[in-house]
Amino acid sequence: MKAAIVDGYPRESFQIATKCPVWIVKTEEEAKNMFWISLKRTGAGYIDFYLLHNVGESRTKCFDDFGMWDYVRELKEKGLVRHIGFSILDNADALDKILTERPEMEFVQFQLNYDD
């Protein structure tokens, strides 16, 4: 992506979204470092849409334990992220709970399983 888009076009002419699957790592440091890896690999200077990926069920606890909700808000305040949100594959009650507890989240990506 860096070579094909970032190096070839003005930054304001495109948007980048990436995600942070915290539940695949073991430490807070690893979780927070995922952002910096994405930023470095893209070379974009900032991320337009940063998702806390696949919250819900037991995975939400990982985001809570590692302080990721506050962390993404801090990244936004620093101008490193334009919009913060999350993706979820869970039920309506879980979505409502997260949105109630985290009103600063600006968008939600719903993951739907067509087989269900």
Number of domains composing the chain: 1
Taking each helix axis as running N to C, give the angle between helix 68-77 and helix 28-42, from 0 to 180 degrees, rounded to the nearest 10.
40
Residue 6 lies in a domain: no
Residue 111 lies in a domain: no
Residues 17-30, buried b or exposed e (16+ Cβ, 10 A)?
Answer: ebbbbbbebeeeee
pLDDT digits (tens, 9 = 90+) for 10-34: 999 999 999 999 989 999 999 999 9
Asked if the model's pLDDT at residue 115 lies above 90, the reply is no
Residue 107 lies in a domain: no
Residue 67 lies in a domain: yes
Least confident interval from 27-31, 37-41, 110-114: 110-114
Report pLDDT for 2.
Answer: 87
Range of the domain at 77: 17-102
For 29-60, give the DSSP string.
HHHHHHHHHHHHHHT-SSEEEEEEEEESGGGH
